[in-house]
Structure 1
Amino acid sequence: MTTSLSAAELAHLVTAVPGVRAIEPGIGSTLRALDSRMRQQDPQQARFGVIVEEGSSRAVIEIGIDGSRPVKDIVRDVQEAIIGSLSQANESDGASEAQEGSGSSDVGEENMPQVTVRVQSLL
């Protein structure tokens, strides 16, 4: 994952998906955000409800949804929005990283963003 997309930008993308009420932090993202702030790490990567694992292409999004659409459709749309944005950001960063690659045949698999969506509440 790249640092060019901040956790705040990811949160904005998620809340634009129909059916998502808001970002709702769980205990995991709350502890990570507090830890990051106490260690005075990059504030763009620490946000309640959004966990961005630095150095990997993984993100965990914690949301609250309304009952306007099926849960699986909302989760799928959130994942697609985040993966699309992260893929575009990785493509722009990938040109310089590709020159330094290890030559492994499954490099594309490693760079594919993985997004986990945790539904915290349903109203």
Structure 2
Amino acid sequence: MTTSLSAAELANLVTAVPGVRGIEPGIGSTLRAIGSHLRQQDPREVRFGVVVEAGSHSAVIEIGIDGSRPVKEIVRDVQETIIRALSEAGEHDNASEAHEEYGTSGVRDRNAPQVTVRVQSLL
């Protein structure tokens, strides 16, 4: 996963998902954002509530939800939104094609992005 989509762009996509009240940073992303700033790393990779790991093909999204829908559905929609956005950016086209071609629904491709959604609060 490269950072062609910035953490800010991913945050905008996530907040558009029905049921998401907003990005709500937890201690993990807060420490990462502060550490990234102190080390003067690329500010597009880490934002309070959104961490994109370029080397490990993973992203962590921390959100607050409003309870208008079941938590499981909101989390699934957030994960699908992020994965779709990364695929549309052209980063993982080959991984998704190989996954569909062989029909390995239970096996994850190592190159496919992993999106972790942490629900910080329910209102």
Q: TM-score, length-normalised on structure 1?
A: 0.84
> Which sections of structure 1, spanning at least 5 residues, go unmatched?
95-107
Q: Residue deviations 1:79-119, cap 9 Å, x none?
A: 00001111222047x7xxxxxxxxxxxxx812101101000
More helix by share: 1
* Alignment RMSD (CA, Å): 1.4
Identity, % of aligned positions: 76
Q: Residue deviations 1:34-54, cap 9 Å, x none?
A: 000000000111200011112
> Which sections of structure 2, spanning at least 5 residues, go unmatched?
95-107
> In the aligned structure 1, how far is the partner of 2:53 from the partner of 2:86?
13
Aligned length: 109
Q: Mapping of 1:100-119 within 5 angstroms? A: 109-119=109-119
Match of 2:122 in 1: 122
Match of 2:11 in 1: 11
State yes or no: 1:46 paired with 2:56.
no
Q: Are the counterparts in 2 of residues 87 and 113 from structure 1 also a CA contact under 8 Å? A: no
Q: Which amino acid aligns with 2:73?
A: D
Match of 1:82 in 2: 82
State yes or no: 1:67 paired with 2:67.
yes
